Amino acid sequence: DAKTTQPPSMDCAEGRAANLPCNHSTISGNEYVYWYRQIHSQGPQYIIHGLKNNETNEMASLIITEDRKSSTLILPHATLRDTAVYYCIVRIYSNTGNQFYFGTGTSLTVIP
Amino acid sequence: EAQVTQNPRYLITVTGKKLTVTCSQNMNHEYMSWYRQDPGLGLRQIYYSMNVEVTDKGDVPEGYKVSRKEKRNFPLILESPSPNQTSLYFCASILAGGTYNEQFFGPGTRLTVL
């Protein structure tokens, strides 16, 4: 079963906010949500992560719903360089360690 | 420079010929992991290691082996590669403890098994 669900593609106008949704309805209380992005076939790049509170850093904001079943990554002022595939990831802790489950990603195209 | 390196970057091989893809990190990270990426499936975790001599299966471990004899190295071994292991492979490392912040990825190894 997929741990996260994302729309396959989205467009955003340059300079506008890009809002990328993710559903993780089976998430448990101690499981973190991460966002990474991948440009072409390079190694994915970390953006942000959170547990239950909203988070903000220099790249983006992460909004997690109160029931934690979904989250939204916000790129406040999208630029052409933000065109990439964005992955929503859940980190699941077990007694043998931490596993990371990637979604299938959202291909974001920023349009001039 | 803090980095994760993988070798080789590209490899074409034939079915059944054992191969090893090396992964090394210079950040003294405890946690290391291997992923494969296939079109439409995102990244899937193959194996991970919490520390030296501690490894465990991820989501898709069949057909792969790993070892963690030193903290910096985490090789991926395909004892008898098959065409369905043709994929783009990524190694990653992360500083364990706390909330497991940023996972650093290598540049990828594109493997083709004929």
Segment B43-70 shows an average pLDDT of 95
| Chain A, nearest residue to B48 by Cα | A99
Per-residue pLDDT at A1 = 66
Chain B residues in contact with A96 (beta carbon < 8 A): 56
For A98, which of B37, B42, B100 is closest by C-beta distance? B100
B100: left (phi over 0), alpha (psi -120 to 50) or beta: left
Q: How many CB atoms lie within 10 A of CB A75?
A: 21
For A99, which of B41, B48, B108 is closest by C-beta distance? B48
User: Which pair of tokens denotes residue B54?
Assistant: 């501690």
Per-residue pLDDT at B40 = 86
What radius of gyration do chain A's Cα atoms show?
A: 14
Chains A, B: CB contacts within 8 A come to 62
CA distance A15 to chain B (A): 27
Q: How many CB atoms lie within 10 A of CB A47?
A: 20
Give the residues of chain A that fall short of pLDDT 70: 1
> Of the candidates B77, B80, B36, which has an alpha carbon nearest to the alpha carbon of residue B60?
B36
Residue B97 has pLDDT above 70, yes or no: no
pLDDT tens digits, residue range B22-54? Answer: 999 999 999 999 999 999 888 999 999 999 999
CA distance A66 to chain B (A): 20
**pLDDT interval class at B98 (50, 70, 90):** low
Calculate what percentage of chain B has a pLDDT beyond 70: 96
Per-residue pLDDT at A13 = 97
Bridge pairing between strands B10-13 and B109-113: parallel
Per-residue pLDDT at B62 = 97
Chain A residues in contact with B44 (beta carbon < 8 A): 102
CA distance A80 to chain B (A): 22
